[in-house]
Chain A
Amino acid sequence: MKCKTCGEKAAINMRQHKLALCKEHYLSWIPAQAQRFIAKYKMFSPEDKILVAISGGKDSLALWDILIKLGYQADGLYIGLGIDGGFGYSDKSLHFCQRFADRRGLKMIVVDVAETYGSSIPELNSKTPRGKDKPCAVCGTSKRNLMNRVAREGNYDVLATGHNLDDEAAVLFGNTLNWLDNYLLRQGPVLEAEHSGLVRKVKPLFRFYEREMAAYALLKGIDYIYDECPHSEGAKTIYYKEILNQLESNRPGTKLIFYLNFLKAKERGVFAEPEIRKEEMKACESCGQPTMAPHKCAFCRLVENT
Chain B
Amino acid sequence: MPAKLILRKEIFEVKSGMTVRSALEKLEILPESVLATRQGELMTDDELIEHGDEIKLISVISGG
Contact = CB atoms under 8 A, between A and B. Distances in A.
Contacts of B3: none
Given A170-B63, A228-B62, A246 B30 contact: yes
Nearest to A230: B64
Interface in B16-32: 30-32
Nearest to A2: B44
A167 interface: yes
B35 interface: yes
A232 interface: yes
A249 interface: yes
B32 A11 contact: no
A228 B44 CA distance: 25
A211 B64 contact: no
Interface residue tally on A, bucketed by range:
35 or more
A186 to B, nearest CB: 19
A235 B37 CA distance: 27
Interface residue tally on B, bucketed by range:
20 to 34
Contacts of B32: 209, 211, 245, 248-249
User: Which residue, of A58, A210, A229, has the highest number of chain B Cβ atoms within 10 A?
Assistant: A210
Contact of A238 (B37, B47, B58, B63): B63
A237 B64 contact: yes
B46 A245 contact: no
A75 interface: no
Contacts of B41: 11
A215 B31 CA distance: 13
A58 B62 contact: yes
B64 A13 contact: no
A256 B34 CA distance: 18
Contacts of A219: 42
Interface in A203-217: 209-211, 213-215
Interface of A: 1, 10-13, 20, 23, 57-59, 136, 166-167, 170, 209-211, 213-215, 218-219, 226, 228-229, 231-233, 235, 237-238, 241-242, 245-246, 248-249
